[in-house]
């Protein structure tokens, strides 16, 4: 066995996988250990509880995705195009498996009244994501592309719609909703209709 173990990562990966496949509440420590190839003792060597592990797993997942978000929402990209690229990216990821947004949403709605630590983490990560939306909206407003006197509120509203669509798409196992979301986003942002006509 190596001096520095990869078990911590294996545990957080396993946890996120299982919570995505099932749910936070129904994912047991035993199951996480089994999938990670760990024994109980190892789990509690690294983490004090399932809650603490979840926090670590979510933060790790965020860090993995941050660079990508930075690129997609780069100020060098025209503001409305940032959303375009982002929702394209989401749709692509969603088509073939898990992504940060979705396990976070299901975990979020599940623990919102239960686990304060996990809840705070989810909110913290969401706030960071909303920041990307917000600055893109502010830029779009400044360029006169949209009318958004309150970028923060607009960002939050769009984020909520986006998450709802993500959740619905998952529950009904229908990517169509996600495919159409780009247009919905433009509507919510208040962009003048560009009829993506059939020819």
Partner DNA sequence: AAAATACTTGACTGATCAGTCTACATCGGC
Partner DNA sequence: GCCGATGTAGACTGATCAGTCAAGTATTTT
Q: For a second copy, give the closer residue by CB, 8 or 166.
A: 166
- Per CB under 7 A, 60 contacts DNA: no
135 within 8 A of 76, measured Cβ to Cβ: no
CB crowding 143-181: b at 16 or more within 10 Å, else e: eebbebeebeebbbebbeebbebbbebbeeeeeebbeeb
DSSP 142: H
Which residues, 6+ apart, have CB-to-CB distance to 65 below 8 Å? 100
Q: Which of 17, 50, 106, 189 touches DNA by CB under 7 A?
A: 50
- Extract the tokens encoding 82: 């940032």
Q: For a second copy, give the closer residue by CB, 6 or 21.
A: 21
- Per CB under 7 A, 54 contacts DNA: no
Q: For DNA, give the closer residue by CB, 44 or 112.
A: 44
Q: Which of 23, 35, 42, 93 touches DNA by CB under 7 A?
A: 42
- Per CB under 8 A, 96 contacts a second copy: no
Residue ranges binding a second copy (CB under 8 A): 21-26, 105-106, 108-114, 119, 122-123, 147, 153, 156-157, 159-172, 176-177, 180-181, 184, 187-188, 190, 193
């Amino acid at each position: 066995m190596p001096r520095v173990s990869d078990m911590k990562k294996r545990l957080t990966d396993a946890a996120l996988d299982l919570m995505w496949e099932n749910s936070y509440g129904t994912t047991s420590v035993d199951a996480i250990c089994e999938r990670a190839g760990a024994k109980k003792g190892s789990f509690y060597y690294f983490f004090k509880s399932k809650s603490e592990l979840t926090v670590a797993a979510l933060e790790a997942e965020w860090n993995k995705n941050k660079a990508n978000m930075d690129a997609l929402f780069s100020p060098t990209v025209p503001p409305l195009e940032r959303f375009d690229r982002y929702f394209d990216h989401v749709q692509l990821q969603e088509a073939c498996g898990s992504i940060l947004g979705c396990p976070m949403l299901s975990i979020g709605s599940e623990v919102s009244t239960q686990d304060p630590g996990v809840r705070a983490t989810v909110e913290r990560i969401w706030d960071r994501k909303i920041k990307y939306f917000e600055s893109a909206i502010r830029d779009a407003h400044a360029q006169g592309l949209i009318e958004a006197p309150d970028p923060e509120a607009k960002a939050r509203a769009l984020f909520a719609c986006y998450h709802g669509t993500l959740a619905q798409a998952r529950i009904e196992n229908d990517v169509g909703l996600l495919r159409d979301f780009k247009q919905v986003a433009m509507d919510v942002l208040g962009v003048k209709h560009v009829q993506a006509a059939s020819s």
